[in-house]
Amino acid sequence: MSLRHGLTIPLKHGEMKIGDEIKEDRILCNDIILPGEYNPHKVRPWLISAAFSNWPTYLGIVWAPNEQDALDTLVDEELGDALIVNEVGLSVMDEEEREALTSLGNAGDLCDLTNVGCEPLDIDPCRDWALLCAFAEARGARVATLDDLR
């Protein structure tokens, strides 16, 4: 267990703990921009979740300027495999269901975003300084995920 295990991620309605509700290897450190840094594209962390059987699953946290780029990055980094519709799934869908699929990632994988949530995280430097320190350390070490800081 690393030092980042147990850090909290701020949500609109509460918080979640790293290691319990989302694993460190699902938190990407792909394009970290810290508060106060020049950020013309408004890159920020996005939490992407999906509801499977009415139970939310946190697929990952990625840094991106917008929701589309966040979803594309999630799929490219193989954290969104649960969203990809395979050939068997396509064969049992009707035309309307197929038209509702979204092409994501560099490969243009067809994904079902029916129960997917994507929200930007509001990290407050005063409240979430330990989390920001972990992201700063990850950026300095040039690691892919928080899990790679071990």
Number of domain units in the chain: 1
pLDDT digits (tens, 9 = 90+) for 54-84: 666 899 999 999 999 999 999 999 999 989 9
Whether 60 is in a domain gets the answer: yes
Amino acid, single-letter form, for residue 44: R
Highest mean pLDDT among 48-52, 125-129, 139-143: 139-143
Residue 93 falls inside a structural domain = no
**Is 43 a member of any domain?**
yes
Please state the pTM of the whole predicted model: 0.89
Q: What is the pLDDT of residue 14?
A: 83
Asked if residue 16 is part of any domain, the answer here is yes
Q: What is the pLDDT of residues 98-117, one digit of tens each?
A: 999 999 999 999 999 988 99
Provide the pLDDT for residue 1.
Answer: 43
Q: Is residue 127 part of a domain?
A: yes
**pLDDT value at 21 more than 90:** no
Look up residue 89 and give its two tokens: 């799934």
Residue 143 placed within a domain: yes
Domain-located, residue 87: no
Region 119-130: mean pLDDT is: 92
Q: Is residue 102 part of a domain?
A: no
Range of the domain at 17: 8-78+116-149
Buried b (16+ CB within 10 A) or exposed e, 50-84: beeeeeeebbbbbbbbeeebbbbbbbbbebbeebb
